Amino acid sequence: MAPEYAKFGTISVKADVFSFGVLLLEIISGRKNATVKSSGHVEHLLSYAWKHWTEGRVLKIIDQVLRDRGGLDEMKLCIHIGLLCVQERAQDRPTMAAVNLMFNSFSQSLPPPSEPAFLMEVSGSTNPMVPVIKKHSRPHGSHPNGRSINS
């Protein structure tokens, strides 16, 4: 779920792009968006993918079955595009038309993604699978574009 939808109920084409990016990363990684580890800790796909991307371990994101089949360059491209689609700020995400061009233009140089919206466990929740968006430095009651939610 796109952070702007989770926080403010804002529906837009960029929220759809976010969902597409999550699906793309789920397919390539073979992981669900939230995976419960044996210790009971919930590790979300976006934080997992971002951690390995920034540490230069992109191959760790790819499901072993897919890795064994080859086509690693295409899968790395999918991860890059997926991370571009899940960037926290909606205005930083590409349009679906741009995503289509990215898939079809192998010579195109893609911009580096910025940090995705991370999910984390709700403190004190009886359900550890219920995600919330991480807290930000925006003042309470402010909209991501600087307008007051009440205006």
Does the global pTM surpass 0.85? Answer: no
pLDDT of 36: 59
The CA-CA-CA angle for residues 103, 34, 19, to 5°, reads 35
Tell me whether residue 139 is in a domain.
Answer: no
Tell me whether residue 140 is in a domain.
Answer: no
Q: How confident is residue 17, by pLDDT bands cut at 50, 70 and 90? A: very high
pLDDT of 119: 57
Residue 93 has pLDDT above 80, yes or no: yes
What is the residue range of 61's domain? 3-133
* CATH code of the domain in which 70 resides: 1.10.510.10
54 versus 5: the higher-pLDDT residue is: 54
Q: Answer yes or no: are the C-beta atoms of 108 and 101 closer than 8 Å.
A: yes
121 versus 9: the higher-pLDDT residue is: 9
Q: CA 70 from chain center: how many Å?
A: 24
Tell me whether residue 129 is in a domain.
Answer: yes
Helix (H) or strand (E) holding 42: strand 42-44
> pLDDT for 23-78, tens place per residue?
999 999 999 887 656 576 777 899 999 999 999 999 999 999 999 998 999 999 99
What the block records as the tokens of 107 is 């010579």
Tell me whether residue 147 is in a domain.
Answer: no
Domain count within the chain: 1
> pLDDT for 102-143, tens place per residue?
999 877 799 999 999 875 444 444 444 444 445 433 333 334
